[in-house]
């Protein structure tokens, strides 16, 4: 699969006065419009020369969110892992401390057993 926008012609939709004089007249393509969850539209022209299947999703050129071909049902934005809260850090440290204590206890028992052996 070819990735990267440079490989795709005609992505500059409506850019510049030369837009209407597309050289693609003899190179038919398919314009596909993708809709992101923020309501942006991204139109991508896929060359008919390639046999590649049209993708179901495309990264929005405006916000980078995944965009789909169905305007009524855009793909959900990827869930972003929230930053750890201070409380989470504290709890984690507590767990670490408890784990260390348990380890010490276990080691202590081992030493006792070895001492008596
Ligand atoms: Zn967008």
Give ∠ CA 11-16-17 in degrees, rounded to 5.
125
The pLDDT value recorded for residue 107 is 85
Q: How many angstroms separate the alpha carbon of residue 25 from the centre of ligand 1?
A: 29
Give pTM, 2 decimals. Answer: 0.45
**Residue positions in the annotated binding site for Zn(2+)?**
36, 40, 60, 63
CA 105 remoteness from chain centre: 45
State in Å: Cα 66 to ligand 1 middle.
Answer: 8
Task: Please give the distance, rounded to the nearest whole angstrom, from the Cα atom of residue 8 to the centre of ligand 1.
Answer: 20
The domain locations on the chain are 29-68, 81-116
Ligand 1 center from residue 24 Cα (angstroms): 27
Q: Which residues contact 10 (CB under 8 A, 6 or more apart)?
A: 22, 24, 29, 31, 44, 45, 47
Q: What CATH topology corresponds to 29-68?
A: Rubrerythrin, domain 2 (2.20.28)
DSSP 108: H
Q: Coil, strand or helix: which one is 19?
A: helix
What pLDDT digit, counting tens, does each position of 19-71 carry? 555 554 556 788 999 999 999 999 998 887 767 778 899 999 999 999 999 99
Order the strands of the 57-59 sheet from edge to edge. Answer: 41-47, 29-36, 66-68, 57-59
Contact at 8 Å (CB) between 43 and 71?
A: no
């Amino acid at each position: 699969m070819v990735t990267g926008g440079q490989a795709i012609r005609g992505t500059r939709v409506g850019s510049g006065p030369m837009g209407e004089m597309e050289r693609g007249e003899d190179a038919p393509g398919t314009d596909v419009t993708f809709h992101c969850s923020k309501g942006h539209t991204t139109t991508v022209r896929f060359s008919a020369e390639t046999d590649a299947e049209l993708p179901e999703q495309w990264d929005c050129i405006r916000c980078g969110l995944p965009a789909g071909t169905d305007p009524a049902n855009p793909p959900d934005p990827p869930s972003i892992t929230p930053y750890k809260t201070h409380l989470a850090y504290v709890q984690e440290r507590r767990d670490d401390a408890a784990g260390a204590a348990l380890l010490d206890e276990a080691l202590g028992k081992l030493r006792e057993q070895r001492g008596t052996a």
